[in-house]
Chains A and B, each alone.
Chain A
């Protein structure tokens, strides 16, 4: 290796001990982070669609992309206009790989979805390795207190976001796009939303989307956690603590009836340096959102059932402004057929690391998914209410989980499709063959889901794959 390269690497190594660079800036005095989006309930006969996109690198990005295109492909008639289901998407919550397509969709809209494809075609891993092989890039990052995660930020900026900021995601008329990370110290979900950035007294509008998306996809160990400063310690002094936080922390029975909400309030209070904190949080080190919840469902639950969520969906349901609630959860979980089950050799350390991280993630994800199932079932049951004073009476709820396990093994083509889809590795590069597998999987999974068919039936959409008996039996409605 040339001497110059060695010297450069040595300098990079020394400079790696320099101060950490925090990617966020404080809010100016007296300011908050505005929430400019709202759910359009001007026509209650239109469905309100909530989408959750899972982690899984480019596999998840491709599956999510194809599901969004499926929604774009469905047109239904309204008096005076024709609408697409994609136009009714009100909320997109995402983690990790799903955050790339979520953010792209939020910035560019449904008509630009096809422009996402080049990101999937490109060998992004090759680009990352090439960037990482440049010692001067390391020096540059080290001088500025950065880390190897900056290579992912640079890649996302170059391929997808081009320096655009979170302000562009947060505009009137746009869906709530919620990119989720994990607070690695406490294990909390950290969502890139105005409210959460108010909690840390940091400006969200100016944060580059590439940083938020890269944080959401920041696989620990391979990449370094992204560093955020909690400016509540030194700024935003004297601002009042929101009522819901104070109440949850002081109400006597709250922790016994709704412990998760108590913990959420405590976390928000800690971030705000509120009275009597559990922890003093000065710095946040955020990693892949998939660690806390690999489906992004926590934010979906919040938007639907939380009284203080800015989407105000619960209020709209209670006011009878939402007649059709559609929740689409896209799970791109990999689960190869070939594994340790067929190996006579004791698994090595890398397999064990994979298990120690993967198994708890899958377990937590399944648990949160079950919570969503329960919520949707309760809403459906509530809609059966026989009281004239209930505006949510006759609310229709369509829960559409897209999961490779729903491909039917009794049909040989679908069994093959399932096994191929589940074997696609988690990476920022995906082959043309695997992209084709995911395109087909998205189409089959959406078309044969009873609640998707039922939704189309109820919107009077004609499609050859709709089986009314199957749809009504598999997705009963009031």
Chain B
């Protein structure tokens, strides 16, 4: 069977699974026989849960490239971004006097951040 080339991109090094069998690592060019595969990763915390790929017609110069993302970056979404921002703002707020409405907003954001951290764990 023809040998094809696949790259699975992910921010971390994980095992790449083809139909649940380990075939190599993320972010490396992998050799696989031409076929259709359900590609997933080892461990958890990534999205999507799997990707169906039709692996044919590739070459060393033009491998098929697919990507997974960290699930935490998507599931926390805006809350996560705000939490990070809140973390940054909190320090200056302690130094400067803020209007009462802003104080209340910051406290709300801290609470949201705490909630998000709890969800994460």
A contact set with B: CB distance below 8 Å:
242-244, 247-248, 251-254, 257-258, 260-261, 305-308, 312, 314-315, 317-319, 371, 375, 378-379, 381-382, 384-387, 389-392
Contact = CB atoms under 8 A, between A and B. Distances in A.
Given A258-B1, A260-B1, A318-B25, A243 B34 contact: no
11 contacts: A243-B19, A251-B36, A251-B52, A252-B36, A254-B35, A257-B54, A261-B33, A307-B19, A379-B31, A389-B28, A392-B31
Nearest to A320: B28
Contacts of B7: 389
Nearest to B34: A257
Give the interface centre of A243, A252, A375 by most chain B CB atoms within 10 Å.
A243
B45 interface: no
A179 B68 CA distance: 41
Given A305-B1, A308-B21, A382-B3, A389 B60 contact: no
Contacts of A314: 23-24, 31-32
Contacts of A319: 24-25, 28
B38 interface: yes
Interface in B33-76: 33-38, 52, 54-56, 60
Contact of A386 (B2, B24, B54, B60): B60
B27 interface: yes
Nearest to B6: A318
B105 to A, nearest CB: 46
B20 interface: yes
A387 B29 contact: yes
Contacts of B36: 247, 251-254, 257-258
A389 B21 CA distance: 21
B22 interface: yes
B35 A258 contact: yes
B83 interface: no
A394 B22 CA distance: 22
Nearest to A393: B29
A375 B3 CA distance: 8
B30 interface: yes
Contacts of A257: 34-36, 54-56
Contact of B60 (A306, A307, A371, A385): A385
A315 B22 contact: yes
Contacts of A375: 1, 3
Given A243-B19, A253-B54, A386-B60, A318 B33 contact: no
B29 A389 contact: yes
B86 interface: no
Nearest to B29: A390
Nearest to A388: B29
B54 to A, nearest CB: 5
B33 A258 contact: yes
Q: Which 5 pairs between the two chains have the least Cβ-Cβ distance?
A: A318-B24, A243-B20, A244-B19, A390-B29, A258-B35
Contacts of A315: 21-24
A247 B23 contact: no
Contacts of B55: 257
Contacts of A385: 29, 60
